[in-house]
Amino acid sequence: MTAIERSRTVAVVGAGTMGQGIAQVALLAGHRVLIYDIDASLAADGVGIVQDRVERMAAKGRLDRAEAEETAGRIAAAGALADLAGAALVIEAVVENVGIKQALFAALEEVVEPDALLATNTSSLSVTELAAGLAHPGRFLGLHFFNPAPLLPLVEVVSGSATDPAAAERGYRTVLGWGKTPVRCADTPGFIVNRIARPFYAEAFAVYEEQGADPATIDAVLRESGGFKMGPFALTDLIGQDVNEAVTRSVWESFFRSPKFTPSLAQRRLVQSGRLGRKSGHGWYPYGPEAAAAQPHTAGPEEAPDKVTVVGDLGPAAELADLLQEAGIAVTATEHGGPYIQLPGEGQLVLADGKTSVEFADVVYFDLALDYRGATRVALSASADTSERTLSEAVGLFQKLGKQVSVIGDVPGMIVARTVAMLIDLTADAVARGVASAEDIDTAMRLGVNYPLGPSEWHGRLGQDWAYDLLHHLDERCPGGRYAPSLALFKLGYAADDEEGTE
């Protein structure tokens, strides 16, 4: 199945920001483009905005003048749906309302040719439900662009229950030809990105609700240790707390209130209070000319130990042994026992594993890092029973490595580790249920929300049992199903063991 020919017309219904962006993408790919809106003035304005963008591209030398004039001449406003009769593809970008979208597509079906594709840009509604009333639902699919559509490469190509595989393939090939990076996805709540991304927000909010750390500290740890571009508190302030919470609630409801997707009460209170983020002047953080930037908790200077013993295999934190030696700390290694770093005061430094410090005599936990060499901050957690000497030695040790240190509460799984483990688990479950391939999910999360690694890439790096073990421990301490590892994750561990056994 080939892409829609460049000689064919592409129509966009809805002249808002997203509609304009999609129209611009199709236009620059070489199609004749029609924009329709129930408000004719908005359609005309949308055409003008896209033409202005083309003109600016020419002014910046990204298009030559003749090409820009030809391109601008290929877009026009449609005065009625009937004007879209010759379109080979119609993409809808109107209000997220099932009834409105269904009525629109029923009307379009009476207008377009039998071989035309009908696509929705919905980010939250069921593609299957939107197609339910159509006479020919096989040609209906989702093409979920991300905002701003001209800049962001990802497009989720969503197949509803009745979508013809040939139609999905044609849609995929078309957006690929437009220079985008499409990923295939079954019709599931949240599709790929909005489904898999929930723990990035939810676990941060949970740590906050558990009094583990404040928003600025959690954001800083996820950025500076986890490698994420923005922390979830700052990101949801940018998105809008009402918008982010509505997506979370929609996914939760669509999964029959699964504990895996339970919304945050703290975020609900923000929305109820009108603290919606940047757009309202206050969210998790205050905004405005006089608002002071929130600062993460950073421990004061402590003396580093001059020697430590690495006991057992530190797994994801194995590179710490080299870093410690490079920093001038004498390292003795023993293969038996552990895994932990034995400190001179007899306390132990342990990588987050889903357990709590209070369970042990004298343990400080340290959080997962994307790259311990490159990380600029590391989080530690300890209980009230942890000795002052052990905590100070742990702080000093990471400071000796050039890291800022944030000491948080005795929260099982800490911040980065529990977030990554949940991302891995939701991905394994989605793959097992046929939502998307592991490769497409990784691509979607890297391009759609700018994660440093896709969840399956994290999984491969951390080891096949790492996420399962951490979540199993978390589930024991926080029962209720939220952290219960999926069957798919359980099976992945066994599959890895079998592969190792046959080598």
> Which of the residues are catalytic?
123, 144, 156, 194
Q: Which residues have a Cβ under 8 Å from the Cβ of 290 and sit 6 or more positions away?
A: none
How far apart CA 253 and CA 256 sit, in angstroms, is 5
Q: What is the SS3 assignment for 385?
A: coil
What is the CB neighbour count within 10 angstroms for residue 47?
22
At residue 36, what is the residue type? Answer: Y
- The amino acid at residue 411 is V
C-alpha distances out from residue 162 to 128, 129, 192, 286, 503, Å: 7, 10, 19, 47, 43
For residues 367 and 358, what is the distance between their CA atoms, to the nearest angstrom? Answer: 16
Q: Using the structure block, give the residue that is written with the tokens 């490079």.
A: 326
* Number of residues written out for the chain: 503
- Determine the 3-state secondary structure of 174 from DSSP: helix
Residue pair 139/127 in contact (Cβ under 8 Å)? The answer is: no
CA distances from 167 to 7, 139, 332, 441 (A): 19, 5, 62, 21
The b-or-e profile of 186-196 (16+ CB within 10 A means b, else e) is bbbbbbbbbbb
> d(Cα 412, Cα 475) in Å, to the nearest integer?
10
Question: What residues are paired with 159 via a beta bridge?
Answer: 186
